[in-house]
Amino acid sequence: MQAGKEIWIIDDHQLFSAGMKHLLNSVAAHHDIKCFNHPNSAMSEVGVMASLVIMDFYIPGVDTLNWISEFVKSYPNTPLVIISSSISLIDKKNCLLAGATAYYPKHSPPEITLERLKLHIERNTTGEDVELEFPVCQNNLTARQVEILIQVARGHSNKKIAKILGVSPETVKSHIATIYKTISCTTRDEAVDWAREKGFL
């Protein structure tokens, strides 16, 4: 499949999909936004791969974590964003470990979610390094820094993490330096041990 200017919204709730499509039309006017109620329906599209995939975490009959893992293996350059009603850190962690680009709660203010999605669209369209200031999550780390810690725990290099998150290796390096300073450690192993102790892993 070739990547095209399509955005896929995969959610079994049509009202959410319609609302998300309406919001995205304001920032992705040149994209064809398609809604699907099941990931298999989306993957049946012939000859084209979306430039951004937005997916719910809980879809009846879908092993979402396995689907994320298989999708990322097949299409590593396509951002896959999970937007879910679940606020569980465990769900978020598992999605990111499976390879999702990002995980956002459905209860977030629409303007914040839209701004985040806009950055994913811009990154994949222009190739420019765009970075959003993520809110402080826990222990004075931002949600982005927690995402990077999770990727570090998977054994990924800065270059690999940058590719997964859609930022530059320099941005990842800067975040890791900030993480070290914030949690008072000096190595990746120490940072991973700290993350496990705090329940992030």
- Give yes or no: residues 116 and 158 share one domain: no
SS3 call for 11? coil
Shared-domain flag, residues 135 and 74: no
Question: What single string gives the DSSP state of each residue in 12-49?
Answer: S-HHHHHHHHHHHTTT-TTSEEEEESSHHHHHT-SSEE
pLDDT at 88 over 90: no
The pLDDT of residue 36 is: 94
Domain shared by 104 and 153, yes or no: no
Instruction: Specify whether 161 is located in the same domain as 194.
Output: yes
Q: pLDDT for 111-155, tens place per residue?
A: 878 888 888 887 755 444 444 444 445 567 777 788 788 889 888
User: Residue 1 pLDDT more than 80?
Assistant: no
- Report the relative pairing of strands 141-142 and 136-138 from DSSP bridges: antiparallel
Q: Are residues 26 and 74 in the same domain?
A: yes
Better pLDDT: 112 or 170: 170
pLDDT at residue 35 is higher than 90: yes
Q: How many of the other CB atoms lie within 10 Å of CB of 66? A: 10
Q: In this structure, are 137 and 118 located in the same domain?
A: no
Do 141 and 97 lie in one domain? The reply is no
Residue 25 sits in the same domain as residue 102: yes
122 in the same domain as 26? yes
CATH code for the domain in which residue 176 is found: 1.10.10.10
Reported as a single tens digit per residue, the pLDDT across 174-184 is: 999 999 999 99
CATH code of residue 80: 3.40.50.2300
Same domain, 4 and 52: yes
Domain total of the chain: 2
Structural domain for 16, as ranges = 1-128
Pairwise CA distance, residues 199 & 150, whole Å: 11
